């Protein structure tokens, strides 16, 4: 039996999804996800409006087209030869569908073949699920930011990829992307845009 506080799991396939650039009208739904994903020390709506206008920022919304509903989002910066993932979140009832992985792959796809060679991010030292996903995609822990998270002063791991345009990394990426595509029954409309 599911308790009232536990969301009912929603299963989706790629054909039901669209990945597109985040729009200002998406921010209210982003804020719903932001508050349940990151607690009271989350980004403000102004932060998202500002980031969508940031010349180095790329922000994407993942839409369940059948509902329609924003079910996840991703943000990253492109600076010189590096990309920095700033945020990734998925509605609780949509977790378990590899949508966080899909959005990570979207960021990697957008960076490959460009002047970007490395992707970095910070992750809570206790967020083992996210860390395992990043390790799977070749990220390595390269340092710690002490007391990085405001809500509980938790440390953040600094993680980075090897050169994403190297032959070895592309081989790993293509294998994992193929496995993800098989799991989702394809890739959503707008993937890689």
Name the residue range of residue 127's domain. Answer: 14-184
pLDDT by residue (tens digit) across 131-189?
999 999 999 999 999 988 877 888 999 999 999 999 999 999 999 999 999 999 999 99
Nearest to 157 by CA among 126, 136, 117, 191: 126
Could you give the CA distance from residue 54 to residue 32 in angstroms, rounded to a whole number?
Answer: 22
Q: Determine, yes or no, domain membership for 178.
A: yes
CATH of the domain at 145: 3.40.630.30
What is the count of structural domains for the chain?
A: 1
Q: Determine, yes or no, domain membership for 189.
A: no
Q: Determine, yes or no, domain membership for 38.
A: yes
pLDDT by residue (tens digit) across 41-75?
678 899 999 999 999 999 999 999 999 999 999 99
Dihedral angle computed from the Cα positions of residues 134, 73, 144 and 35, in that order, rounded to the nearest 10 degrees:
-130
Q: Determine, yes or no, domain membership for 42.
A: yes
Q: Determine, yes or no, domain membership for 119.
A: yes
Q: CA geometry: angle at 173 spanning 186 and 33, to 5°? A: 60
Q: Determine, yes or no, domain membership for 191.
A: no
Q: Determine, yes or no, domain membership for 2.
A: no
Could you give the residue numbers annotated as active site? 122, 134
Question: Over 50: is that where the pLDDT of 122 sits?
Answer: yes
Neighbours of 142 (CB within 10 A): 10
Could you give the CA distance from residue 54 to residue 146 in angstroms, rounded to a whole number?
Answer: 27
Predicted pLDDT of residue 119:
98
Q: Determine, yes or no, domain membership for 5.
A: no
């Amino acid at each position: 039996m599911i308790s009232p506080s536990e969301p009912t799991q929603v299963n989706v396939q790629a054909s039901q999804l669209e990945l597109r650039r985040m729009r200002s009208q998406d921010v209210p739904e982003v804020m719903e996800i932001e508050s349940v994903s990151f607690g009271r020390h989350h980004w403000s709506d102004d932060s998202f409006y500002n980031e969508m206008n940031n010349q180095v920022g790329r922000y994407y919304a993942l839409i369940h087209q059948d509902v329609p509903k924003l079910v996840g989002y991703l943000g990253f910066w492109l600076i010189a030869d590096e990309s920095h993932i700033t945020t990734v979140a998925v509605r609780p009832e949509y977790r378990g569908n590899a949508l966080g992985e899909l959005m990570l792959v979207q960021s990697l796809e957008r960076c490959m073949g460009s002047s970007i060679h490395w992707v970095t991010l910070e992750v809570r030292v206790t967020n083992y699920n996210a860390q395992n996903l990043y390790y799977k995609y070749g990220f390595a822990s390269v340092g710690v930011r002490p007391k990085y998270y405001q809500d509980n002063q938790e440390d953040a791991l600094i993680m980075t990829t090897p050169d994403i345009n190297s032959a070895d990394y592309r081989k790993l990426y293509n294998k994992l992307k193929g496995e993800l595509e098989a799991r989702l029954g394809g890739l959503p409309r707008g993937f890689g845009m």
